Amino acid sequence: MNQNIPAAAELAPQIMLSAEDHERLSKLARAAMNSLPERAENLAAELDRAHVLASGRLGEVVCMGSQVVFRDDTTGRVRQVTLVYPEQADISKGRVSVLTPIGTALIGLRTGSSIGWQTRSGENRRLTVLEILQPGDAKAGFAESTIDP
């Protein structure tokens, strides 16, 4: 059973993806099946339940390249990350791979949505999306002083 996705479907919020992100992420999940089977299965499960939009901007939805401000509801810690493909990931620069448990949890969520996820060490957590900045957005977003170290 997929451990990073909530057991009851009604606990998981609806997610939306552009057709382009859905296609690229589906290819990524298939490519990762041999090397990272659990992570690939988790991503594939999220893609299976996604509402896919043919074209246009998704608005306040986490997509690839989005900067996301979220709160870990378990610890209360607020973080800002950019959701990227694995080859672009660099945690020291706040770039989180969509193949990580937290990256998979974030994809497709709207501002205000919450989702359960499981850390690599097996701890169950819940996060809430506070703000989403799309690639190229001009607005400043959260100031660094509002983010816990």
CA distance linking residue 130 with residue 32, whole number of Å: 30
pLDDT tens, position by position, 4-63: 443 334 468 889 999 999 999 999 999 999 999 999 999 999 999 998 987 666 678 999
User: Residue 136 — very low, low, confident or very high, per pLDDT cuts 50/70/90?
Assistant: low
Helix (H) and strand (E) counts in the chain: 3, 7
pLDDT tens, position by position, 100-114: 999 999 999 999 999
CA distance linking residue 63 with residue 146, whole number of Å: 23
Task: Identify the CA nearest to 65 among candidates 43, 89, 41, 46.
Answer: 89
Assign a CATH topology to domain 9-135.
Answer: Chitinase A; domain 3 (3.10.50)
Helix 37-49 crosses helix 19-32 at what angle (to 10 degrees)? 150
The pTM (predicted TM-score) of the whole model is: 0.79
With a CB cutoff of 8 Å and minimum separation 6, the contacts of 57 are: 134
